[in-house]
Amino acid sequence: MSAYPESPQATSAWEIREATGRDWPAIWEILEPVVRAGETFTWDRDTTEDQARTKWFKTAPGRTFVAVGTGEFDGVVLGTGELHANQGGAGSHVANAGYMVRAGHGGRGVARGLCAYSLDAARAAGFRAMQFNAVVESNVRAVAAWQAMGFEILATIPEAFRHPTLGYVGLHVMYRKL
């Protein structure tokens, strides 16, 4: 359960759990359209399924997790997240994470639930903070969600992201203590 009682994870129609290899087909159904669209992640739009699996599935102390629907969407993987150290060595006490939500399920709090889960998991793993290195400035829903979760924008790198329709937009570096 989340340390954030107001979070959707605590009240919505899904459960968040560690991902297994059996979840990969459903995770790929979520990742592929997001990656191909090229609007919110810095991944190469031609990333193959094998490359995506290698990038998304993390090993300890990192982890990969899924939000699995209950009720109306029972058993459907609605979203996925991954958590890992932002840097190695002397920077390994700061976590990094990423989240993707199944098409048609945005705006329902799934990403916030995944974020709350990752904050709790990062804290439990001994991380002291979490940093997002590349939040696309034009992804205003994500920016607002992360700010509501306690993240602040530390910097914006101008024109660091080539959006397929908007052209060059900024990338935010966002941070919060755990």
| pLDDT tens digits, 22-32 | 999 999 999 99
Pick from 9-13, 162-166, 174-178: least confident: 9-13
Q: How confident is the model at residue 12 (pLDDT cuts 50, 70, 90)?
A: low
What's the confidence (pLDDT) of residue 94?
Answer: 98
Residue 10 or residue 152, greater confidence:
152
Domain ranges of the chain: 8-127
8-127: CATH superfamily: Gcn5-related N-acetyltransferase (GNAT) (3.40.630.30)
What's the confidence (pLDDT) of residue 3?
Answer: 34
- Burial (Cβ within 10 Å: 0-12, 13-18, ≥19) of residue 95: buried
What's the confidence (pLDDT) of residue 10?
Answer: 40
| pLDDT tens digits, 108-167 | 899 999 999 999 999 999 999 999 999 999 999 999 999 999 999 999 999 999 999 999
What's the confidence (pLDDT) of residue 106?
Answer: 87
Q: Nearest-CA neighbor of 15 among 85, 86, 65?
A: 65
- Cis peptide upstream of residue 25 (ω within 30 degrees of 0): no
Q: Quote the percentage of the chain above a pLDDT of 90.
A: 84
Average pLDDT, integer, range 62-88: 94
Q: Are 163 and 169 in contact (CB under 8 A)?
A: yes
Q: Are 35 and 105 in contact (CB under 8 A)?
A: no
Can you tell me the distance from the alpha carbon of 149 to that of 87, in angstroms, rounded to the nearest whole number?
22
